[in-house]
Amino acid sequence: MKNNFLIYGANGYTGELITRLAVERGMKPILAGRNETAITELAAKHGLKHRVFSLDEREKVDAALDEVEMVLHCAGPFSITSRPMVGACLRNRKHYTDITGEISVFEECAAVNERAYEAGIMIMPGVGFDVVPSDCLALHLKNRLPSATALSLAFYGMGRISHGTQATMTMNVGRGGAIRQDGKITPVPAAWKTREIDFGDGVSSPHVSKGPSCERVVKTGVTIPWGDVSTAYHSTGIPNIEVFTVVPPSALKMMKLSRHIGWLL
């Protein structure tokens, strides 16, 4: 690579974490974003190069991408920011990755697969928690159960969420949920389905070490429009997919309430 890669949105919550980890591992990415003060200070702190530009500044975007071989896009909400950056990467023949979890972004990226192939680049959204571990698990299950026609995934223990994730959640309040049904992404009401989920032997908190007194963990899960509704289908070919997570009772009530007030939002 010319200069490793460019992190766009490096001054965001997750972008800063990635920057710190990259530096700890001896990498020297170029940091980029719209906030000149924040980007400049972060770059100075880690001794890195930086670039300041908005995604609608085509010449500046192209100039920045010319210095690298890959972009790690960390600026959400990705339903707004992904398309112009993907377009820039296609235009400049640079690899694109991001940390989105939004179904619409996964589908848009899948739609440009042929263009990416012709450009000789990789378009790979969702390289964070959503959806790397769950996608690997989905494919593992498919390999173990090759005749499977339905897939249910569940997780809990997310901890703190980033500002970008919170912004995305706020934007999507009232839009309901989504599942994969007969191979098609299908809208469903928010909190469409709940079920008791056995997470096996463990502890309620991911921050507590497992000990001999640990009990079986059973939680109430609720369906959410998680990225695997899109990606697990491409990875496994399974036509019916649901994703569950564990939320506090108050959050579950709000999710159900949003069915009736979504038109206000």
* Residue closest to 122 by CA, chosen among 86, 80, 68, 77: 86
Domain ranges of the chain: 6-124, 137-264
Q: Are 37 and 5 in contact (CB under 8 A)?
A: no
Judge whether residue 112 has pLDDT over 50: yes
CB atoms within 10 A of CB 241: 24
pLDDT score recorded for residue 1: 45
Q: Residue 15: is it exposed, middle or buried by C-beta count within 10 angstroms (0-12/13-18/19+)?
A: buried
Confidence of residue 205 (pLDDT cuts 50, 70, 90): low
CATH H superfamily, domain 6-124: NAD(P)-binding Rossmann-like Domain (3.40.50.720)
For residues 19-45, average pLDDT: 98
Q: Average pLDDT, stretch 107-127?
A: 98
Report pLDDT digits (tens) over 51-110. 999 999 999 999 999 999 999 999 999 999 999 999 999 999 999 999 999 999 999 999
Token pair 């949920």 in the structure block, residue? 177
Q: How confident is the model at residue 178 (pLDDT cuts 50, 70, 90)?
A: very high
Report, as an integer, the average pLDDT of 154-178.
66
More confident of the two residues 150 and 200: 150
Alpha carbons 123 and 243: distance in angstroms, whole number: 24
Q: What's the predicted TM-score (pTM) here? A: 0.87
pLDDT band at 263 (very low <50, low <70, confident <90, very high): low
Supply 257's token pair: 């309430």
Sheet holding 30-33, edge to edge: 50-52, 30-33, 6-8, 70-73, 95-98, 123-124
pLDDT at 122 over 70: yes
Least confident window among 95-104, 136-145, 167-176: 167-176
Q: Which residue has the higher pLDDT, 153 or 265?
A: 153
Question: Which burial class, exposed, middle or buried, applies to 57 when counting CB atoms under 10 A from its CB (0-12, 13-18, 19+)?
Answer: middle
